[in-house]
Amino acid sequence: MRFWIKCTRFDGGKPYHVNFSLVGGMWRDGDKTILEFVGSGAQTIEVRETPEEILAIHLGTSGASNP
């Protein structure tokens, strides 16, 4: 199963689709969120959404308890 997240590139505002399983790290740098990929030739990208927004949009509301 693959999960894709849609983020907005920080530098140009264009949409960017990322295979969520390839994101190894995520942190903030000022108003940017940095996504770090795993694997050989790993790279980073800067996006506008916060980590909380990314998780809420694609995985549902964060912090919600399951009955």
The domains of the chain are located at 4-59
Residue 42 pLDDT:
77
Q: Where are the alpha helices (DSSP H) in the chain?
A: 51-59
Residue 66 pLDDT:
45
Residue 32 DSSP label: E
In the CATH scheme, what architecture does the domain 4-59 have? Answer: Beta Barrel (2.40)
- For 23, the token pair is 């994101």
- Using one digit for the tens of pLDDT, what is the confidence trace for 15-51? 888 877 788 888 999 999 998 888 777 788 899 988 8
Residue 32 pLDDT:
92
- Residue with the bigger pLDDT between 14 and 61: it is 14
Phi, then psi, of 44 in degrees rounded to 5 = -125, 155
- For 12, the token pair is 């140009």
Residue 61 pLDDT:
64
Estimate to the nearest angstrom the gap between the alpha carbon of 32 and the chain centroid: 11
